[in-house]
């Protein structure tokens, strides 16, 4: 197992070599506008996964993927000439879904902003279903409730005890 720092340096070097070679041009009309976004090298330095994006339509992405697959051998030999490792790693091209994910996240954020705006608009014109303050407040002594009798203290009925003969006091 190689040092992770060495693997990272090798990945950076491979990214630079492949990007430079693609910039110089490969004689394949199917190759579109390619950007190498990242390279991952395994711990034993035997395999490199090269992530790329293509500016264009789905057909251009497919064509570019086919062009890179056909140019893999030539690009691997270019990498082998320009690195100082004992063995040249095998390379694999993987379409990076980063732009599609970013567009999806942007779309979701825009939808969230729109829903937030709608809820703020609705809240601004909303009215209370009942009172503004639904909590019961303590009564002031000044309030006169003359028409209401206190149920706990009946008037002129005595103490409410029943005598043995059935009469009340």
Higher model confidence: residue 153 or residue 136? Answer: 136
d(CA 111, CA 58): 25
* Tokens 């005598």 found at: 163
The proportion of the chain whose per-residue pLDDT surpasses 70, expressed as a percent, equals 83
Q: What is the pLDDT of residues 75-94, one digit of tens each?
A: 899 899 988 888 889 999 99
The average pLDDT across 102-112 equals 90
156 pLDDT more than 70:
no
151 pLDDT more than 60:
no
Q: What is the pLDDT of residues 111-120, one digit of tens each?
A: 999 999 999 9
The average pLDDT across 96-118 equals 88
End-to-end C-alpha distance for the chain, whole angstroms = 102
How does residue 163 score in pLDDT terms, banded at 50, 70 and 90? confident
The CATH fold of domain 4-100: GMP Synthetase; Chain A, domain 3 (3.30.300)
Q: Which helix (H) or strand (E) holds 96?
A: none
The answer to whether 16 and 38 have CB atoms below 8 angstroms apart is no
166 pLDDT more than 60:
yes
Of 26, 97, 25, the residue nearest 61 (C-alpha):
97
pTM across the whole model: 0.59
pLDDT of residue 33: 81
The average pLDDT across 39-62 equals 88
Of 78, 54, 57, the residue nearest 67 (C-alpha):
54
42 pLDDT more than 60:
yes
Q: What is the pLDDT of residues 20-33, one digit of tens each?
A: 888 887 777 677 78
pLDDT of residue 154: 52
């Amino acid at each position: 197992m190689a040092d992770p720092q060495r693997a990272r340096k090798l990945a950076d070097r491979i990214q630079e070599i492949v990007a430079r070679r693609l910039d110089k041009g490969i004689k394949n009309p199917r190759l579109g506008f390619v950007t190498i976004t990242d390279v991952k090298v395994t711990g034993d330095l035997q395999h490199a996964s090269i992530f790329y994006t293509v500016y264009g339509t789905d057909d251009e992405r497919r064509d570019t993927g086919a062009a890179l697959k056909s140019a893999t051998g030539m690009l691997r030999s270019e990498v082998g000439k320009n690195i100082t490792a004992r063995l040249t790693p095998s390379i694999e091209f993987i379409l990076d879904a980063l732009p599609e994910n970013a567009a999806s996240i942007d779309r979701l954020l825009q939808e969230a902003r729109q829903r937030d705006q709608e809820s703020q608009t609705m809240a601004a014109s909303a009215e209370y279903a009942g009172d503004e303050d639904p909590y019961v407040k303590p009564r002031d002594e000044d309030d006169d409730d003359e028409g209401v009798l206190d149920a706990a203290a009946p008037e002129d009925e005595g103490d409410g005890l029943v005598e043995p003969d059935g009469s009340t006091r």
